[in-house]
């Protein structure tokens, strides 16, 4: 994550409750059932880099297909947070992307 361009967006597609219990720092929460309606505001540029993850990889794969249908060009499926080895942030705030201090 430290080497991503400024136009990269880390999206957690789990429910708000799952997100608040622990998420990757810098991840925005847009649940898979809201991805089609909320992603155009969160990521207006269709050429921006979108990195998706969920709990195990199933919902992020579904969300990736939806984003493809909406015309997004650079979609990376990071799979599930169950495989993530880094520290997780609790609560509803995304926190900074690793390597970015705001």
Residue 59 pLDDT exceeds 50? yes
Could you say which of 27, 49, 50, 54 is catalytic? 54
Q: What is the pTM of this model?
A: 0.91
49 a catalytic residue? no
* 8-to-11, 17, 18, 45, 101 alpha-carbon distances in Å: 10, 24, 22, 11, 15
β-pair partners for 12: 29, 53
CB-neighbour burial class of residue 95 (10 A; exposed 0-12, middle 13-18, buried 19+)? middle
pLDDT of residue 102: 42
Comparison of pLDDT for 77 and 98, the residue scoring more: 77
């Amino acid at each position: 994550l430290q080497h991503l361009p400024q136009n990269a967006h880390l999206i957690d597609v789990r429910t708000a409750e799952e997100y608040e219990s622990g998420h990757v720092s810098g991840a925005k929460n847009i649940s898979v059932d809201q991805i089609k309606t909320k992603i155009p505001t969160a990521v207006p540029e269709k050429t921006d880099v979108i990195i998706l993850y969920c709990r195990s990889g199933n919902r992020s794969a579904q969300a990736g297909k939806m984003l493809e249908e909406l015309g997004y060009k650079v979609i990376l499926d990071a799979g599930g947070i169950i495989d993530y080895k880094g520290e997780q942030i609790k609560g509803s705030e995304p926190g900074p992307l690793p390597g970015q201090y705001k």
